[in-house]
């Protein structure tokens, strides 16, 4: 008795794929991490929960830097990094209400100072504590290394799809340690990640699709020198 259409027809469920679904889970994981590390660029979007704070991110990243937006605490700011130079852009409300002592803040100031910063890129000094925290959203290699880690025993799950692309699922600790959907079409890039412990869900798209990075012009930027504006 035939137990399934594929068995009856003799069809290969991996026909037309890149074949990685036939590999063991550790080998699939190794290939997808290698593919991600070797890609020239990626578009990362979704949510990340870290140190009790939730961040909605929409970033385009490559080795030389990145650009995009981060939303946390109901406020959104733009980040742009070109090599070692990091820039932050936000509206006056953001600058007025930030608490410089908060773990996810950058600076706060009075209304007059905030108005000057409204819609302008502010160069973040490398010596400012905010530089390391904010630049972390723009460093492709380090960000991917941290996000693509599955905790616990890695196992192969079901075949599925992500935005119409066929995928195979990898799970850590039966899903408690995270779930990663790997492309079965073309290069085995990671396409969707559910982080362990409910720490966010991310879509990874536009692998290898280059984009232009350039520093803002003088009319678009405010340089505060040694530290970000505070009051």
Per-residue pLDDT reduced to its tens digit, 66-117? 999 999 988 999 999 999 999 999 988 888 865 444 444 444 446 767 777 8
Residue 77 lies in a domain: yes
Strand bridging mode 121-124 / 221-223: parallel
Residue 150: inside a domain: no
Residue 138 lies in a domain: yes
pTM for this predicted structure: 0.84
Sign of CA dihedral 71, 79, 202, 163: positive
User: How many structural domains comprise the chain?
Assistant: 1
State percent of the chain over pLDDT 90: 62
Question: How much is the average pLDDT of 117-143?
Answer: 90
Q: Give the tens place of pLDDT for each residue, 145-158.
A: 888 889 999 999 99
pLDDT score, position 111:
74
CA–CA separation, 87 and 211 (whole Å): 17
Instruction: Tell me the residue range of the domain where 97 lies.
Output: 43-143+216-223
Position 65 in a domain: yes
Whether 210 maps to a domain, the answer reads no
pLDDT over threshold 80, residue 231? no
Residue 129 has pLDDT above 70, yes or no: yes
Please enumerate in sequence order all residues whose Cβ is within 8 A of that of 196, keeping only pairs 6 or more positions apart, or say none.
150, 151, 172, 173, 176, 177, 178
Residue 139 inside a domain? The answer is: yes
Q: Is residue 164 part of a domain?
A: no
How many other C-beta atoms can be found within 10 angstroms of the C-beta atom of residue 212?
5
Examine residue 126 and state whether it is found in any structural domain, yes or no.
yes
Confidence of residue 229 (pLDDT cuts 50, 70, 90): low
């Amino acid at each position: 008795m035939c137990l399934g259409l594929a068995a009856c027809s003799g069809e290969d469920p991996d026909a037309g794929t890149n074949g990685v679904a036939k590999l063991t889970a550790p080998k699939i994981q190794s290939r997808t991490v290698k593919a991600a590390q070797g890609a020239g660029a990626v578009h990362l979007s979704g949510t990340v929960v870290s140190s009790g704070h939730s961040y909605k991110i929409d970033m385009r990243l490559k080795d030389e830097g990145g650009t995009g937006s981060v939303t946390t605490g109901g406020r959104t700011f733009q980040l742009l990094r070109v090599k070692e130079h990091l820039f932050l852009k936000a509206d006056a409300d953001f600058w007025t209400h930030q608490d410089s002592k908060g773990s996810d803040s950058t600076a706060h100031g009075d209304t007059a100072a905030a108005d000057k910063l409204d819609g302008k890129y502010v160069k973040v000094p490398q010596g400012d504590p905010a530089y390391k925290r904010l630049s972390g959203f723009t460093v492709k290699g380090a960000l991917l290394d941290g996000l693509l880690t599955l905790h616990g025993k890695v196992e192969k799950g079901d075949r599925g799809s992500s935005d119409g692309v066929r995928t195979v699922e990898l799970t850590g600790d039966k899903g408690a340690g995270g779930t990663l959907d790997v492309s079965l079409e073309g290069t085995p890039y990671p396409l969707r990640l559910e982080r362990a412990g409910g720490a966010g869900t991310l879509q990874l798209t536009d692998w290898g699709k280059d984009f232009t990075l350039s520093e803002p012009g003088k009319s678009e930027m405010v340089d505060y020198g040694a530290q970000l504006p505070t009051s």
